[in-house]
Structures are given as C-alpha cells and as structure tokens.
Homo-oligomer: A and B are copies of this chain.
Amino acid sequence: MTNYNKAIVLVSGGLDSTTTLAIAKDLGFDCYALSFNYGQRHISEINAAKKIAATYNVLDHKVINLDMGQIGGSALTDSNIDVPEVSSEGIPITYVPARNTIFLSYALAWAEVIDANDIFIGVNAVDYSGYPDCRPEYIKAYEQLATLATKAGVEGASFKIHTPLIELSKAEIIQKGISLDVDYGLTVSCYQADEKGKACGVCDSCRFRKEGFETAKIADPTYYK
C-alpha cells in the first residue's frame, strides 16, 4: 500500500515508538522522525532513536533539546526524585507533567512547516493507564486543538494524530512489530538504562517490556545490566 502523505513520527528509541514507526512506514507514509532530549536519565534512548531513524530511512530526523529539567516534577527529569522499582497506586512518579502535550506541540510545529497533516505517537492506554495524556479522549482533544492552532487548519485541513498502539497490550505490540520485521534489539525502553543502553530490568518500563516478550512467546533481545 502506498500513498504520498507526509507524517511526523515521534521516535523515542523505545519499543512502542519503533513499532509505531514501522506501522507508519507500512501504511505508506513518508516519515519524518522527531525525538526529544528532555533531560531524561536514559540518554541511550536518543542514540537508539538515531539508529532506528536511519534503519527506517526517514526523510529527516530532528532531535529537539527540551529544557524540562527546570520544570521538574517527575522522577524522569528531576534528579532529586528516585525512579521507583515498584509502581504505586494512581498516576506514577515517572509521569512527566504535560510531556505528551509538549511533544505533540513540537510535532505540530514541524508538521506546519513541512505541510504534513499526520502525526504518529506510540501512546498506550493499557500499560500506562495512569498517564492522563495517553488516553483516547486526550488525543481527540489534541486533534481539535491542532486544527484550530494552525494555518493549515484555518485553510480547511484537519490534523490526524495516529495512535496505533493505544489499545494494545505490550505482547500485542511486540507481535505487531515482529510481523513488520522490527528489530527490538535496537530499542531501549528502560527508565535508567546505562550509556550503552543496558536495561535495569526492574523499573516499570522494563517490567512491562519483559512481560510483553514472555506473553508473546518471543525471545527477549533486551540487553540487561
């Protein structure tokens, strides 16, 4: 299947966003990869994102530096808050305030510049049920905002935020990716991976990933510390 639409794809270097990129490519979109260096502890994710963007022959890959450490409020961006090994009730401390809203805003800005109306983001409402900005109603509200926020919208276009993983379990995401030949050995999901991309194996993100491979009955290619 081929079409000639341009799409911005948010690529973090993790399992979900890599699967999302594979899906966008498979749908025939001309993909522009967008990554963020936001003071997350796992900088090796950015290195993974670069390799993945290259592997998928994206038309362009931008890595935007975000000044989110100043804002704080999350274990992922504030070095005074420890990453927990066991997730707590409610919204986890690894939630970064308004993170997806900021990510999507940059994606929207780039979409305006390159004249794209499609944005792909690998949010998931199953594993990250506590994150408000991973819910379908949030994505719907963002689409409405995007159309009102932009020249393209004023001129009659509408924006589509594609969330192909939103209702999938981790195992289903992995099965989908494997069917599209994703090499998960390239991806880094750990909240506190080392500079070589080796994973801790105990944080929420590692647990979800590990269980996903087990449930999908696919060999886990993750490099653990």
Interface residue ranges, A against B (CB under 8 Å): 62, 64-68, 70-73, 91, 95-102, 105-106, 108-110, 112-113, 132-133, 135, 137-138, 141-142, 144-146, 148-151, 153-154
Number of copies of this protein chain within its complex: 2
A151 to B64: give the CA distance in the assembly, Å: 25
A95 to B97: give the CA distance in the assembly, Å: 27
A180 to B: closest C-beta gap in Å: 29
Contact call A71/B109, Cβ cutoff below 8 A? yes
Closest residue of chain B to A112 (Cβ to Cβ) is B97
A97 to B112: give the CA distance in the assembly, Å: 6
Contact call B149/A133, Cβ cutoff below 8 A? yes
Contact call B141/A112, Cβ cutoff below 8 A? no
A203 to B66: give the CA distance in the assembly, Å: 30
A168 to B28: give the CA distance in the assembly, Å: 47
Contact call A109/B145, Cβ cutoff below 8 A? no
Closest residue of chain B to A102 (Cβ to Cβ) is B105
A102 to B148: give the CA distance in the assembly, Å: 14
The 4 closest A-B pairs by CB, nearest first: A73-B113, A98-B109, A97-B112, A97-B109
Contact of A102 among B96, B97, B102, B150 (CB under 8 A): B102
> For residue A145, which residues in chain B have a CB less than 8 angstroms away from its CB?
101, 138, 141-142, 144-145
Closest residue of chain B to A78 (Cβ to Cβ) is B113
> For residue A70, which residues in chain B have a CB less than 8 angstroms away from its CB?
62, 64
A106 to B: closest C-beta gap in Å: 7
Offer 24 A-B interface pairs, CB within 8 angstroms, sorted by A.
Answer: A71-B110, A71-B113, A72-B113, A73-B113, A91-B151, A97-B109, A97-B110, A97-B112, A97-B150, A98-B112, A101-B105, A101-B108, A101-B109, A101-B146, A132-B149, A132-B150, A132-B151, A133-B148, A135-B148, A137-B148, A138-B145, A138-B149, A141-B145, A142-B145
A116 to B: closest C-beta gap in Å: 11
A48 to B72: give the CA distance in the assembly, Å: 25
Contacts known (A72-B113, A73-B113); A149 close to B101, Cβ less than 8 A: yes
Closest residue of chain B to A100 (Cβ to Cβ) is B149
Contact call B98/A149, Cβ cutoff below 8 A? yes
